[in-house]
Chains A and B, each alone.
Chain A
Amino acid sequence: MVSTPRPVGRKVLFMATCLCDAFYDDAARASVELLEHLGVEVVFPDDQTCCGQPAFNSGDWPSSRKVAKHAAKVFAGDLPVIVPSGSCAAMHFHGHRLQFEECPDAEVESLAHRTWEIIDFIVNGLGIKTWDGEFENPTRLAFHRSCHTRGTDTGEAVTTLLSSIRRAEVVPFGQTDQCCGFGGTFSVTFPHISGRMGSLKLDHIMESRPDLLVSADMSCLMHLTGLARVQGRPIPHLHVVQVLRDTLMTARK
């Protein structure tokens, strides 16, 4: 999916994503704190909005192309663009190119070649292979591989880092590669199927008796934990970046 070597540097543009902008401010905050801890200067372009996926997935490409062009302008330049979401990152480096295949756009193309999912960037861009963090107590982590990180290096990168945290155990669960059922607008246009997919996913996750559900996409977590709460089986959940930051703090106490 990621077609070319992407730029690595100690200065990056950060895209918070609309979900972190609206709901999960702490995941965005943890991203910035992590990157700065690793010696990276983080620039947050204030005019950023969304990657355009809702319109793109609905088939309204004229609308999503407008949003893509806006993003390409906001994140113009030659710095790496770091995103705490496998889904929004894939939109930049794959979706945008698909919707512009008949009308190629240099800025959109440039954005595609500079975008990194944050954990992929930390592990494969910055070369961080172990994480000096720890949990106070032995902690079982269920890592949900979000679908839009298929074919990218994110999944392996996350497992590498999480496994190296002291007292962390990444526990396997059934049908790991099945979707959580969110799919953005899919979850509202196919509410029944989406809900069933999510419940099935939760069944598998719960079987592994995790202490914490972790993902590189807040969208999947929003869907899964929203379902879990209504079903009376709430589960603690965090973005990978929050786990990395929190366990680092614990280790430095």
Chain B
Amino acid sequence: MIDRQPIDTYARQISDEKQTSVITGSTASTDKRFNALFTDYADPDSLRKLAAKIKDHTLHHLDTYLEQAEASLQRNGVTVHFADSGDDARETVLNILRGHEVTQLTKSKSMASEEIHLNPYLIENGIEVLESDLGEFIIQLDGDEPSHIVRPIIHKNRREIARTFQREGIAEDYNDDPGTITRRARVHLREKYMLAQAVITGGNFISAESGRLVLVTNEGNTRFGMAPSKVHIALVGIEKLVPTDRDLGVFLNLLGRSATGQQLTVYTEFISGPKDDSQPSGPEHMHVVFMNHGRTDVLDSNCREILRCIRCSACQNVCPVYRQASGHAYRSPYGGPIGAVLSPLLFGDRFPELADLPKASSLCGACNEVCPVDIPIPDLLLRLRDKAKRAHIPQPGDLPMTPFATLATSPSLWRTAMTMSKAMNHLPIQVAPVRPLQDWLGQRTLPDWHGGDFRKWLKARKEK
């Protein structure tokens, strides 16, 4: 018995409500993003090729730039930590918090923290964690998982959120007006901000030259988090470096447009260290935790281009498979094409278990077309399929290809098969016990078999 592909099975059973939310949300942002890029730039393609070059250069000299970034950050008064594994990163963060006697913190959206399941770990260790990004806050209330890189609750509609707010006592009554929902969240969150002793953020970029940490948000939640907190911890993947401040111009212009169709996100913060004497408020202590978590393995692999990723989710939004299956189908914080490549690589020890993800693509190439750093995602998906095959990881629904190769390299056998298979036209193939055929014929018809007819026509013409 052949099992079905897990992502196809998942897509089959998601609710119509969830599916509508995902399709509507991802389609709308794709159109907006396209317009933002093509209205503002005559040749956005050259811009993304430049971005790819900058990232490749940085990754090629990552050791040098990491050293430079460490020195720059230290010069700015930042304590720098390096964490090799997910465990190391979690422990490092916890130790920093304990060192500053922090028991309560706010956290802005960070994919790096999702990768290592930081929240449950901190909570288990007695720290109160509050997600301050509205989407992540709702995920936290629901005990759900984010399903999208930029819009974690893309799979939910406002009615579900209104019910959550009522259930959790954030609101006294049910009201699904988006403005009201946002206002209620704001009132609730602002009180909490003032109680937080620390703030954890991710990092969109760090300039090795200046040690500036760049954070982009649309809600201003990192600024709010920063204001009352005494300690700021930024958990940053080591691939997030850019060589100079100047490079940020390229990436910030691409990131906003590719992620949400905005020229620039509402808030772009450049953080150059802890608060100094001239500043009335802000964290007195700043820590940057550079996290490896599988990235150097990816750098050594034949899929290293994926480390160019700036987490804009353009590939996810445009992907027709993701739109049908939702981000949760990808069984990791990263959904869509980026997840299909990144997850099996980052979570290397789980490769056999995640090796089906790269199969979840018709290889249509839309992901590469919209990628602001020109990652050849379809090529990477194919290389990972080859890797899984070489590692003899069985794939659900895989068709054996050896007979095909034999047929396709034996011309006379091929020609005979073409003509002989004409019998198919007279057989009741709709009841043939062949799973792939059944899966095809369940929804589609097959055209009539005309095997060999073209060759016959050619030959007859020649003989005339």
Interface residues of A (CB under 8 A from B): 16, 18, 20-25, 28-29, 32, 44, 46-50, 52, 54-61, 63-64, 66-67, 69-70, 74, 95, 98-99, 147-148, 150-151, 175, 177-179, 181-183, 185-198, 200, 222-223, 225-227, 229-230
CA distance A151 to B457 in the complex (A): 34
Q: Cβ of A151 and Cβ of B369 under 8 Å apart?
A: yes
- Name the residue of chain B whose CB is nearest to the CB of A20: B454
CA distance A52 to B27 in the complex (A): 33
Which of B237-245, B248-256, B408-416 forms part of the interface with chain A? B408-416
Q: How far is the CB of B389 from chain A (nearest CB, A)?
A: 4
CB within 8 Å for A148 and B365 given contacts A61-B386, A226-B446: yes
Q: How far is the CB of A49 from chain B (nearest CB, A)?
A: 4
Q: List 7 A-B contacts (CB under 8 A).
A: A57-B363, A57-B385, A59-B385, A98-B382, A147-B362, A187-B362, A193-B8
- Name the residue of chain A whose CB is nearest to the CB of B402: A63
Q: Cβ of A197 and Cβ of B320 under 8 Å apart?
A: yes
* Smallest CB-CB A-B distances: 7 pairs: A183-B362, A59-B385, A226-B444, A179-B364, A63-B405, A47-B411, A25-B454
Within 8 A of A (CB), among B399-427: 399, 401-402, 404-405, 407-409, 411, 414-415, 418, 421
CB within 8 Å for A193 and B458 given contacts A147-B362, A185-B399: no
- Name the residue of chain B whose CB is nearest to the CB of A54: B404
What 15 new A-B contacts, CB under 8 Å, besides A29-B457, A69-B409, A189-B359? A22-B450, A28-B454, A44-B458, A48-B411, A50-B408, A54-B404, A57-B382, A59-B384, A151-B365, A151-B369, A177-B366, A186-B363, A189-B397, A189-B398, A189-B436
Q: Cβ of B436 and Cβ of A192 under 8 Å apart?
A: no
CB within 8 Å for A21 and B360 given contacts A55-B404, A66-B405: no
CA distance A183 to B442 in the complex (A): 17
Q: Cβ of A230 and Cβ of B389 under 8 Å apart?
A: no
Q: Cβ of A147 and Cβ of B365 under 8 Å apart?
A: yes
Cβ contacts under 8 Å, B436 to chain A: 188-189
Cβ contacts under 8 Å, B445 to chain A: 226, 229-230
Q: Interface majority SS on B: helix, strand, loop or mixed? A: helix
Within 8 A of A (CB), among B419-464: 421, 436, 439-440, 442-455, 457-458
Q: Cβ of A188 and Cβ of B399 under 8 Å apart?
A: yes
Q: How far is the CB of A19 from chain B (nearest CB, A)?
A: 9
User: Taking each of A67, A74, A95, which has the highest tally of chain B beta carbons within 10 Å of its own beta carbon?
Assistant: A67
Q: Could you give, for residues 179-195 of chain B, a 1 whenever the CB lies within 8 Å of some chain A CB and a 0 otherwise? A: 00000000000000000
Q: How far is the CB of A178 from chain B (nearest CB, A)?
A: 6
Contact of B324 among A48, A49, A193 (CB under 8 A): A193
Q: How far is the CB of A172 from chain B (nearest CB, A)?
A: 14
- Name the residue of chain A whose CB is nearest to the CB of B376: A98
CB within 8 Å for A49 and B409 given contacts A59-B385, A179-B364, A193-B325: yes
Q: How far is the CB of A251 from chain B (nearest CB, A)?
A: 23
Cβ contacts under 8 Å, B451 to chain A: 21-23
Contact of B455 among A46, A95, A181 (CB under 8 A): A46
CA distance A222 to B408 in the complex (A): 21
CA distance A49 to B364 in the complex (A): 24
Q: How far is the CB of A183 from chain B (nearest CB, A)?
A: 3
CB within 8 Å for A64 and B401 given contacts A49-B407, A193-B321: yes
Contact of A181 among B362, B415, B446, B453 (CB under 8 A): B362
Q: How far is the CB of A224 from chain B (nearest CB, A)?
A: 9
CB within 8 Å for A179 and B8 given contacts A63-B401, A186-B361, A197-B362: no
CA distance A24 to B366 in the complex (A): 27
CA distance A192 to B396 in the complex (A): 14
Q: Cβ of B414 and Cβ of A192 under 8 Å apart?
A: no
- Name the residue of chain A whose CB is nearest to the CB of B407: A49
Q: Cβ of A186 and Cβ of B409 under 8 Å apart?
A: no
Cβ contacts under 8 Å, A187 to chain B: 362, 439-440
Within 8 A of A (CB), among B1-36: 5, 7-9, 11-12, 27
Cβ contacts under 8 Å, A151 to chain B: 365, 369
In the assembled complex, B52 has its CB within 8 A of some CB on chain A: no
Interface residues of B (CB under 8 A from A): 5, 7-9, 11-12, 27, 320-321, 324-325, 359-366, 368-369, 379, 382-389, 395-399, 401-402, 404-405, 407-409, 411, 414-415, 418, 421, 436, 439-440, 442-455, 457-458
- Name the residue of chain B whose CB is nearest to the CB of A227: B444
Q: How far is the CB of B309 from chain A (nearest CB, A)?
A: 20
CA distance A107 to B451 in the complex (A): 28
Cβ contacts under 8 Å, A28 to chain B: 454
Cβ contacts under 8 Å, A46 to chain B: 411, 415, 455
Q: How far is the CB of A226 from chain B (nearest CB, A)?
A: 3
User: Taking each of B362, B415, B447, which has the highest tally of chain A beta carbons within 10 Å of its own beta carbon?
Assistant: B362
Q: Cβ of A70 and Cβ of B453 under 8 Å apart?
A: no
CB within 8 Å for A191 and B411 given contacts A23-B447, A150-B369, A179-B362: no
- Name the residue of chain A whose CB is nearest to the CB of B448: A23
Cβ contacts under 8 Å, B385 to chain A: 57-59
CA distance A48 to B448 in the complex (A): 22
CA distance A66 to B368 in the complex (A): 28
User: Taking each of A74, A98, A191, which has the highest tally of chain B beta carbons within 10 Å of its own beta carbon?
Assistant: A191
CA distance A95 to B415 in the complex (A): 25
- Name the residue of chain A whose CB is nearest to the CB of B412: A47
Q: Cβ of B457 and Cβ of A49 under 8 Å apart?
A: no
Q: How far is the CB of A216 from chain B (nearest CB, A)?
A: 15
User: Taking each of B8, B379, B446, B454, which has the highest tally of chain A beta carbons within 10 Å of its own beta carbon?
Assistant: B454
Q: Cβ of A150 and Cβ of B365 under 8 Å apart?
A: yes
Q: Cβ of A67 and Cβ of B409 under 8 Å apart?
A: yes
Q: How far is the CB of B445 from chain A (nearest CB, A)?
A: 5
- Name the residue of chain A whose CB is nearest to the CB of B355: A59
Contact of A191 among B325, B386, B399, B439 (CB under 8 A): B439
Q: Cβ of B457 and Cβ of A230 under 8 Å apart?
A: no
Cβ contacts under 8 Å, B446 to chain A: 23, 222, 226
CA distance A230 to B454 in the complex (A): 27
Q: How far is the CB of A25 from chain B (nearest CB, A)?
A: 4
Cβ contacts under 8 Å, B361 to chain A: 183, 186
Q: How far is the CB of A165 from chain B (nearest CB, A)?
A: 25
CA distance A68 to B41 in the complex (A): 40
- Name the residue of chain B whose CB is nearest to the CB of A74: B411
- Name the residue of chain B whose CB is nearest to the CB of A201: B320
